[in-house]
Structure 1
Amino acid sequence: MTAEELWKKSGLTGEYEAWGFGDDELTELVSSGKKTATSSAYACYEAEEEDLPEVGETSILLDDNDDAICIMRTTKVYTVPFKDVSAEHAAKEGEGDLSLDYWKEVHKEFFTEELEEIGESFSEDMLVVCEEFEVINV
């Protein structure tokens, strides 16, 4: 199903953004309800001159084949230094053993690669955009 088809089926109105994690394992965690949060490097928003997510925004999550999987609504957005991301947020991301140590390990690697693409370096003090969301059942 395409994003447009899912949006029409939902009966929701307004604007939405369709996007994917680029990793079907993360997509499955969202659709199963295990993943209710995500995070990204603040520097990437700045480099791409992109607005931060906002509470109430809706989006359609796509899998690696660009098929629409579910509709998500942002429920909370905040920015903290990497070193201050909480164990609660790490668990809400639904990955690995749900621990903060696991989250830091995989996100340090991910952010390092992502930041290199924009000429930036990873730092424990770098800002992380933490976003929480809910899946809207259709």
Structure 2
Amino acid sequence: MNMSSLVISNFWEAFKKKYPDAGDKYLAWSFGGTADQADRLAALVISGKKTATASLYQLYRWTNEPVPKVGDYNIILDGRQAPVCIIRTTKIEVVPFSEVTAEHAKLEGEGDLSLDYWREVHWEFFSEEAEAANHHFFETDPVVCEEFELLWPTE
């Protein structure tokens, strides 16, 4: 086990002391595509401003990763890939990009909280992800809209 994996495992074990029924199944990941984005978005989660996220549905097929589901535990990592908090998925909805709602955009807690802002930054992000997988991103492509609650740490 490398040092990063050990730190993440220890973070999970500390969490389980408060939530012993959590089990041993979790994913560890960071928001965004850069260290700066990971730090900024993780800070929004910890502050309580970010309670949702969105991901490109096809990405799960391309990477063979599981599609998020209600009840999933996630360790959120910062830009250095260090654990900063644990969230649990509370709602999943898969909709075309063009049908993501203003309410979801607001829950993501980014920018001016508007749907226009959300569409602009996510269009760019999803287009880059699709291009990296040799695909083209379309407004009709499905997006996983995920809502979550911050479980740990809490103050």
> What TM-score do you get using the length of structure 2 for normalisation?
0.84
Given the alignment of the two structures, is residue 45 of structure 1 paired with residue 60 of structure 2, yes or no?
yes
CA offset at residue 14 of structure 1? 2.4
Task: Tell me, in whole angstroms, the C-alpha distance in 1 between the residues paired with 2:98 and 2:125.
Answer: 15
1:16 corresponds in structure 2 to: 26
2:8 corresponds in structure 1 to: 3
Q: Which moves more between the two structures, 22-31 or 101-110? A: 22-31
Select the residue among 26, 46, 59 that pairs with 1:31.
46
CA offset at residue 7 of structure 1? 1.3
Unpaired segments ≥5 residues, structure 1:
none
**Percent of counterpart pairs with the same letter?**
50
CA offset at residue 123 of structure 1? 0.9
Q: Runs in 1 of length 4+ with deviation above 6 angstroms? A: none
Please say if residues 2 and 66 of structure 1, whose CA atoms lie closer than 8 Å, have aligned partners that are also in contact.
no
Which structure has more RCO (C-alpha within 8 Å, separation ≥ 6)?
Answer: 1
2:3 corresponds in structure 1 to: none
Q: Deviations over 1:17-59 (max 9, x none)?
A: 1111242111111111111110011111111122210111101
Q: Cα RMSD (Å) of the superposition?
A: 1.4
Unpaired segments ≥5 residues, structure 2:
1-5
> What TM-score do you get using the length of structure 1 for normalisation?
0.94
Letter in 2 for 1:7: W
